[in-house]
Amino acid sequence: MSVHELINDPRQFSLDAYERAIDSGRDIATAIKELDKCIKKPAELARVYNGNCVDVNRTALFVTLRPSTQDEETDKATKQLLEHPVLREVIDLKWKNFGQRMYMEQVMVYLLLLLTLTITASMRPNTENVTYPIQLHAWFYVGAPLVIAIAMCPWFQYDHRLRWASLTILSIAIVIIAVHYIMQLIDVNYHYFFQFNNVVLAMTSFYFLRFELNELFGEVAEHNRLFDCGIHSMSLRWQKILYYCVFCPFSVVYQFIVMLLGGDGAKYFDSYFNRIQLPTFAALMIFVVREFVSPYDHSIRLYYTIALTTLLYILGLQYLEVHGTAGYLIPMMRRLLHDLYRFLAFYWPFQCAYACAYFLLFQESDEASYNTLWHSFVTTFLVMLGQIDLDPFENLPNTASYVMGYVLLLTHATIVIVMLLNVLIAIMTETVDGGLDQAKVEALVSFAECVLRSEKTVGLTPISADGPADRIKLLEQEVDARMTDLGFTTVDEITPSTSERLDKIESTLSQVLLLLNEIKKNK
C-alpha cells in the first residue's frame, strides 16, 4: 500500500472530512460515519483525540464546538454530535487525563480568590491599631487548607484519585491542628497581614486573567502567535513577546466591542459567563494594582469591592456545570432569565407611567415613599411583588386626589399583578415544560466546553495506542466501557444512577409546573 493510500485510507478517521461535513451544515450524516469508524478501535479513538497532534484548534472536539455560521437547527444538530459514543469517550478521556485535575485546581484557586477578596473588602488600608481577628481566623482555617489542596493538585491522577484524596485530607488535617496551636503563640501585625492578603489576591487574580486570555487566544494556533512588525532580524521570541504585549490587549478590546455591537467575534464570547468574567477579572486586577500603589477613597473602594464580590460569587455558578444535576438546570435558568428580560421590556412602559403618576400625585405631600421620582419608582416596582401600602392614599388631602389615587392603584395592581405576572408565569411555564431534553444537550455542550477550555490552557498533549502502559489501559477502558462518570448520556445509553437523577429532576419540574398552574388559577 502506498503512502498516499495509507493517508487517505477510507477505513481511518479523517479530521478533514469530519470538518467539511460540519462546516457544510448539510452533511451531518457524513460526520457521524467518520465517528462510526472509531467505535471499539483504540487507534482510531486516539486519532479523534489528537487531531493533527499539534494544535488544539485542529482537534475533533474543537471543530465540533466551533461556532456555526449555519442556521440554528443545523447548529443544534452539530452540537448533538457530542452525544455520539466516540466523542463522549474522547471527552471523558480528556476529563480523566487533565480536565478533572485542572477543574479542581481552578475551583480551589477560585475559592481562595473569593476568600481573599472578601477579606480585603472587609479591611481598611493604612489603619493603625485596628485588629481583624475574624479575617485572620478565616485565613488560617479556610485559606491554609485551600493552599494545601492547590499545592496537591499537580500530583492528581485519575487512576489514583482515592489515594490522592486521602493524602490531601491528611495534610489539611495536620495543617489545621498545627495552625490551632500556632495561633495562640504568635502576635500578628495586621498591616503585614493586609499586605499579604493583597499579594495572594493579586496572584489569584492574575491566574484567572491569564487563564481567560489563554482560552480567548487558544483559537489561534501556537505557531501563529507572532507579531510581525516588519523587522526581519527580530527573533521569534521577541515576536511572541510583542504578540502578547502589543497585539493581545488591542485584540481583546476590539473583540469585546464587536461582541457588544452584536458582531461575530471570538468564540470565547459565545459563553454568557465569559462576557462578564473577562472584564470582571480585568477590573479586579486594576483594583489590586491600586491597592498597592494608591488605594481608592473609602467610599469608592467600598462600592468597587461590593460590585466585584457580588459578580465573582455569582460567576462561581459556572463551576456547577459539570455537576450531574446542576448541569441540566443552569442552561434552563439561562432561558428563564431570557424570558424575564423579555417580560421586563414589556413591563417597563407601565413601570415608568405609574412611577411618574404617583410622583405627581404626591408631590404636594410629605410621603417618604413618593417624595422623589426615584422613591416613587422603587415603590411602584415593589407593587409588582405585592408590597402595597394604603396609608399614603388614605392621607390624600381631598376627595379628588383620593379617588385619583385609588384609580391609579387599582388599575396598576390589575394590570401588573393580574395580567402581566400571569403572562410571565405562562412564558416561564412554556420554557420549563419540555425544556429538559434541550437542557440535556446544552449541559453536555457545557461539559465539553469545560474540557476544551482546560485543553486550550494546558495545550494539546497527544496520546498513542502504542504509548505508555497506563495510557493504553485507560484508552482500552474507554473503548470497552460505557461512559458512567460524565452524567450526560442519551436515553438509550443511560445508567441507573443517572436515570434516578433525571427522574428526580423531572418530578421536581412537574411539581413546579403544577404550582405555576395553580398560581395562574388563583390569580
Question: For position 239, what pLDDT does the model report?
Answer: 74
Mean predicted confidence (pLDDT) in 202-208: 93
Lowest average pLDDT, out of 38-47, 197-206, 292-301, 433-442, goes to 433-442
Rounded Cα–Cα distance for residues 330 and 446 (Å):
10
- Check if the beta carbon of residue 416 is closer than 8 Å to that of residue 383: yes
Rounded Cα–Cα distance for residues 242 and 398 (Å):
74
Angle, CA 149 vertex, CA 146 and CA 154 arms, to 5°: 140
Mean predicted confidence (pLDDT) in 515-521: 63
Question: For position 491, what pLDDT does the model report?
Answer: 36
> Which amino acid is it at 103?
Y
Instruction: List C-alpha distances in Å: 3 to 6, 8, 15, 18, 44.
Output: 5, 9, 18, 21, 18
**Taking 70 as the threshold, does the pLDDT of residue 512 lie above it?**
no
SS3 409: helix
- Strands (E) in 346-471, as ranges, are none
Query: What's the pTM?
Result: 0.78
Q: How many CA atoms lie within 13 A of 47 on its CB side?
A: 18
Counting Cβ atoms within 10 Å, is residue 503 exposed (0-12), middle (13-18) or buried (19+)? exposed
- Check if the beta carbon of residue 120 is closer than 8 Å to that of residue 201: yes
Question: For position 456, what pLDDT does the model report?
Answer: 81
Question: For position 451, what pLDDT does the model report?
Answer: 87
Lowest average pLDDT, out of 197-206, 331-340, 427-436, goes to 427-436
304: nearest Cα among 321, 283, 275: 283
Grid cell 385609588 is found at: 406
Rounded Cα–Cα distance for residues 204 and 274 (Å):
17
**Taking 60 as the threshold, does the pLDDT of residue 471 lie above it?**
no
Lowest average pLDDT, out of 49-58, 147-156, 290-299, goes to 49-58
- Check if the beta carbon of residue 18 is closer than 8 Å to that of residue 35: yes
Grid cell 494539546 is found at: 460
- Check if the beta carbon of residue 79 is closer than 8 Å to that of residue 73: no
Question: Among residues of the chain, what percentage have pLDDT more than 90?
Answer: 19
Question: For position 41, what pLDDT does the model report?
Answer: 81
Mean predicted confidence (pLDDT) in 7-29: 75
Mean predicted confidence (pLDDT) in 68-81: 59
Question: For position 222, what pLDDT does the model report?
Answer: 63
Confidence band for 521, pLDDT divided at 50, 70 and 90: low
